Amino acid sequence: MVKIHACGLNFADLLMIKGKYQDTPAVPFTLGLELSGTIEAVGPGADSSLTGKNVAVFAGQGGLAEYGCFPVDRCVVMPENMSFAEAAAFQVAYGTSHVALDYKARLQAGETLLVLGAAGGVGLTAVEIGKRMGARVIAVARGAAKLDVARKAGADICIDAEVDDLREQIKALGGADVVYDAVGGDLFRAAFRATNPDGRILAIGHASGDVPQIPANHLLVKNISVLGLYWGGYMKFKPSVLTDSMAQLFSWFAEGGLTPHISHELPLERADEALELLKSRRSTGKVVVTMHSPA
Concatenate the DSSP letters of all residues of 218-265 into one string.
HHHHHT-EEEE--GGGHHHH-HHHHHHHHHHHHHHHHTT-----EEEE
List beta partners, residue 267: 290
Long-range contacts made by residues 77-81, C-beta under 8 angstroms, separation at least 24? 77/50, 77/53, 78/36, 78/54, 78/250, 79/250, 79/253, 79/254, 80/254, 81/253, 81/254, 81/256
Domain ranges of the chain: 2-90+260-290, 96-232
User: Taking Cα atoms as reference points, which of 29, 32, 28 lies closest to residue 9?
Assistant: 32
Rounded CA separation 218/195 (Å): 11
Q: How would CATH label the architecture of 2-90+260-290?
A: Alpha-Beta Complex (3.90)
Say which DSSP state 285 is in: B
Indicate whether this model's pTM tops 0.75. Answer: yes
Q: In the prediction, which pLDDT does 294 show? A: 59
Counting residues of the chain whose pLDDT is more than 70, the rounded percentage is 99
- DSSP-derived 3-state class of residue 112: strand
Q: How would CATH label the architecture of 96-232?
A: 3-Layer(aba) Sandwich (3.40)
Q: In the prediction, which pLDDT does 293 show? A: 66
- DSSP-derived 3-state class of residue 204: coil
- Low-confidence residues of the chain: pLDDT under 50: none
Q: In the prediction, which pLDDT does 178 show? A: 98
Rounded CA separation 147/181 (Å): 16
- 112: buried, middle or exposed (CB in 10 Å: 19+, 13-18, 0-12)? buried
Encode pLDDT of 219-247 as tens digits: 999 999 999 999 988 988 999 999 999 99
